[in-house]
Structure 1
């Protein structure tokens, strides 16, 4: 589970996130939606430990700043970054050892094959396209078998097959009891995945919907009903 309590983050005098609170239980997919500058990436980066903040973030009931919590969650950033001199396989091995993961060689091979990287294992980080880097980042995150996973605009730059595989992975994670948080402005990409939607505007969460309460109502309709129709864009 992922719990955010009174999270705030300022950049100088600019308040990017103002006392945001939300909760996603085990086995559910939360979607964070909002326009450019709303605060989505600030929240994601705070959870990932990349920013200082005030408030509390809990991972499976453990303070997110503690090492025990960090071992339980994985993060796929919007802009992937690779070690230039490590191969695709070495990136995954690096993460596996850092987290002392129980993932097997066979499971890693299956991941690589699933994302069409099995024949690219020896490519160096500086030889990869953005889409390939994104797929390596996803494989690295999955290789630690997280209890909570954060995905920041995960489908940008992916080819259609990889998008299909990632959607299937999200559903599989959900069925395994993993908590998933997706930050995105691409509503169509999460239409069949979400359980709870949090809508942000000007550093605040202005509302939320639970899929169990709205049934089959279209996600676009819910989104524009709450926001009044402002456009979404990339994040801050």
Structure 2
């Protein structure tokens, strides 16, 4: 589970996030939506431990700043960061050892096969395209075997096959009881994935809905109703 309570963050005199609270339970996919400048990136970076903030963030009931919480948390950033001198396989091995993950060699091989990276294992980080770096970032996150995973615009730069695999991966994670939070502008890409949505505007959550509450209502229509047509 991922719990955010009274999260606030200012940049100088600018209040980027103001007393935001939301909750994504185990085995559910949450989506964080909002127009540019709404505060989504600040929330994402706060959860990932990249910013100082006021308020409380818990991962599996544990304060997010603790090592125990970080051990069961994975993050796929919008802009991947690769080690230039490590190969694709070495990135995954680094994560496996850093987190003392129980992922097996066979599971790594299957993951690389799914994301069409089998023949790219020996490529260095500085040789990868944006899409390939995104795939490596996803594989590294999955190698942790997380209980909570945060994906920031994860489908940007991916080819159609990788988008399909990522969607299937998200559904598999949900079936395994993993908590998933996705921040995205590509609403059509998460239409069949989400369980609960949080819509931000001007540093606040202005709407929070479960899929059951909105029935068959189109996600785009609901988003634009809440934000006055802004994206």
Structure 1-normalised TM-score? 0.97
What's 1:79 paired with?
A: 79
What's 2:30 paired with?
A: 30
SS of 2:213's equivalent in the other structure is helix
What's 1:45 paired with?
A: 45
Shift of 1:9: 0.7
Render the CA deviation track for 1:61-90: whole Å, top value 9, x for unaligned: 000001000001100000001000000000
Task: Give the unaligned 5+ runs of structure 1.
Answer: none
What's 2:156 paired with?
A: 156
Alpha-carbon separation, structure 1, partners of 2:226 and 2:84: 44
SS of 1:119's equivalent in the other structure is helix
What's 1:57 paired with?
A: 57
Alpha-carbon separation, structure 1, partners of 2:18 and 2:226: 19
Alpha-carbon separation, structure 2, partners of 1:105 and 1:41: 34
Shift of 1:21: 0.2
What's 1:188 paired with?
A: 188
The number of aligned residues is 231
What's 1:199 paired with?
A: 199
SS of 1:49's equivalent in the other structure is coil
Shift of 1:132: 0.2
Shift of 1:227: 1.7
Q: Does 1:133 align with 2:133?
A: yes
Alignment of 1:50-129 (within 5 A): 50-129=50-129
Shift of 1:26: 0.2
Task: Give the unaligned 5+ runs of structure 2.
Answer: none
Alpha-carbon separation, structure 2, partners of 1:11 and 1:185: 24
Alpha-carbon separation, structure 1, partners of 2:211 and 2:168: 19
